[in-house]
Structure 1
């Protein structure tokens, strides 16, 4: 208004144009003196609506950058906070993954060593201690036992025993067990990663 008091956003344009007022844009005050009219005709009412629309568009155009800067600042603060929360979790996760990878690799090497030992023992028993006639049923039952073990794996996991899948499964088993021991919350970590990606 002319005396310097602020006008509500909900004030109708017709009411605003009944008296003199000051329009402040970028800290510059403009005195506005609308023409005095007793009653607005429908043609003038349309002009008032056009003025109202123009003022609204002007307000949006002038304040959009401020809104974007404020929103960007809020998002950057949220991003920094998420990164701060995520940094110790990332370090813990890296240690857990290294440990799980080492255990999985050790398990694979132990499996290779056991298979090599089994093959060497069967060869030694076949050619130096006993004959093939005695060892043939033994190798048959070892093969049948291995088939039963792989089938049991399928029954328990509902997956074929494919080496990469079995390795990944064992890695995840070690990872989650180590996470539980070190009180690493995987769900919280995943939630923070999702929030960071957004």
Structure 2
């Protein structure tokens, strides 16, 4: 570092009092802890740094109090204004996002209704196919053939249904549960209809996510703990008329029970 500052220095070395050379990686702070020799070219300088003053615990405590006071003063002068400005910015962004979301929300509601109607129609079609299957198997069992012939057929039909449910799990990585199947079909129909109508659902989801984040930030800004507001006073409990009447009745019964006991004590105290 000395050679960089002064081009006239060819050789520079630092040695401690015992003549041991100090490494260049030693920091200035550690170097000033003790006396040392400074060799510059052919000259030698004995450096005796001043002793450091030790700070007492009382001074450290006082310094901490001053820092806390400065922080409170800064907070009182700037944090409130910063919160107001931040809330205005968030409200402005929220209004802009709501304006963008309005047309997309209307289109998405229309697509949701269409997808719901189509999904409900498919559920009724499934019920109709199951009814047809039941009718065919019943006719073949009781009219055309006998149960001895149709029993293996019904076994394979049942096993085929189980295979279809397992194939659904393999393809979709979801268990074959009717509510989940209906929701999945609804989403598939919705995305297909949105693609045909030119509605960008990814943009819609992104706007909804941004709105949720801004609303969360606004709730945090308005939190009494964040704004350092005093806690609201506890609400006084109110009693109904029936509770007051019950308490009076209990008090009167207790008073009647105490009167005979007091009379007995008075008689016992007489000579």
**Which TM-score bucket, shorter chain as reference?**
0.5 to 0.7
Structure 1 residues 136 and 87, CA gap change in structure 2 (3 angstroms): same
Quote the offset at 1:150 in angstroms.
Answer: 1.3
- Measure, in 2, the Cα distance between the counterparts of 1:139 and 1:168: 30
| Matching of residues 121-160 of structure 1 within 5 Å | 121-160=136-175
What's the TM-score once normalised by structure 2's chain length?
0.47
Structure-1 residue corresponding to 2:94: 79
Higher Cα Rg, which structure: 2
> Partner of 1:160: helix, strand, or coil?
coil
1:60-95 CA-to-partner distances (Å, cap 9, x unmatched) read: 866766655544433322221111100011111111
- Measure, in 1, the Cα distance between the counterparts of 2:92 and 2:167: 52
1:94 aligns with 2:109: yes
Structure-2 residue corresponding to 1:9: none
Cα-Cα RMSD: 2.5
- Measure, in 2, the Cα distance between the counterparts of 1:106 and 1:187: 27
- Measure, in 2, the Cα distance between the counterparts of 1:169 and 1:74: 39
Number of aligned pairs?
Answer: 144
- Measure, in 2, the Cα distance between the counterparts of 1:162 and 1:65: 53
What's the TM-score once normalised by structure 1's chain length?
0.63
1:97-152 CA-to-partner distances (Å, cap 9, x unmatched) read: 11111111111111111111111111112111222122222222212221221121
Q: Which runs of 5+ in 1 are unaligned?
A: 1-49
Question: Which of the residues 190, 195, 200 maps onto 1:175?
Answer: 190
Q: Which runs of 5+ in 2 are unaligned?
A: 1-65, 214-271
- Measure, in 1, the Cα distance between the counterparts of 2:82 and 2:140: 83
Structure-2 residue corresponding to 1:114: 129
Structure 1 residues 128 and 70, CA gap change in structure 2 (3 angstroms): same
Point out which structure has higher relative CO (alpha carbons under 8 A, 6+ apart).
1
1:140-170 CA-to-partner distances (Å, cap 9, x unmatched) read: 2212221221121111112221111111111
> Partner of 2:174: helix, strand, or coil?
coil
> Partner of 2:176: helix, strand, or coil?
coil
Structure-2 residue corresponding to 1:33: none
